[in-house]
Structure 1
Amino acid sequence: MKLFTAQQRAKLLVNGRRREVDGSYDPFPVAHLFLINNWRWLISDVCPEDPDKAYALVDIGNAPELGYVSLSELGSIQYGAFSVERDLAFVAKKSMSAYLEEWDSAYWAKRSAAKRSAAT
């Protein structure tokens, strides 16, 4: 499966151009990618000079974080017989920073619950 449709690619590039001129730009994500082991990426834009470099919210089991990822590396990740896929039903409902806040809260809530469980 391709990571993005042609329409998503175009939107990623538009968002990347806007980020170049406005570093505080906080777009809605364009695509949600995932791997069967619960790793996930929300992709909002690509660098116009290097379309392999994408800005993403990354959650691979540690505290979620915003940063740049290599799309070619994402496309090459294998987990057994599974590879990174695009969530075909994903519709962004908020900005990248709002998703970061949501995912970060969920991460710390899980850690807290695990510590309480381990203590009993």
Structure 2
Amino acid sequence: MPLLTAKDIEQLLANGKTNAAHIRADGNTEDVKPVVKLFAPWGGATWLLSELDPDDPDLAFGLCDLGLGFPEVGSVRISEIESVTGPGGLRVERDRFFYATDTLRRYAAEAQRLGYISA
């Protein structure tokens, strides 16, 4: 199963284009809902991604948690996530049942409070 579906990529790029335009105009961004949740089935690593850079679609932005108790908002390369291999050859997976109910900022605030992403 691919990490990102065509629909995910379309929405992630749309969010990225919107925020790139906002940054050029006034330096601010929209607080959008995450589009996709990725996770390592063998541990606590989780990523809630909200956008892809329209100039570099391998570069995603979102809430990242490597399972060490320090979730943070930032950028990550999709190719790096795809290259991660766990025990027995397990790979990072997309949560097919994830549906964002809140914005990235709110997920981030909760994750900072808890020390992990609870989505």
TM range (shorter): 0.7 to 0.9
Instruction: In structure 1, give the amino acid aligned to 2:72.
Output: E
Match of 1:82 in 2: 90
Instruction: In structure 2, give the amino acid aligned to 1:72.
Output: S
Q: What is the TM-score with the length of structure 2 in the denominator?
A: 0.86
Moved more, 21-30 or 93-102: 21-30
Match of 1:66 in 2: 73
Give the CA deviation at 1:62: 3.2
Match of 1:93 in 2: 101
Match of 2:115 in 1: 107
Give the CA deviation at 1:91: 0.2
1:39 equivalent to 2:39? Answer: no
Which string of whole-angstrom CA distances, capped at 9 and with x for unpartnered residues, describes residues 99-118 of structure 1?
0011111118xxxxxxxxxx
Provide the secondary structure at the position in 2 that maps to 1:51: strand
Q: What is the TM-score with the length of structure 1 in the denominator?
A: 0.86
Larger radius of gyration: 1
Unaligned runs of 5+ in 1: 109-120
Q: CA RMSD, aligned part only?
A: 1.2
What number of residue pairs does the alignment pair up? 108
Provide the secondary structure at the position in 1 that maps to 2:55: coil
Give the CA deviation at 1:24: 2.2
Provide the secondary structure at the position in 2 that maps to 1:52: strand
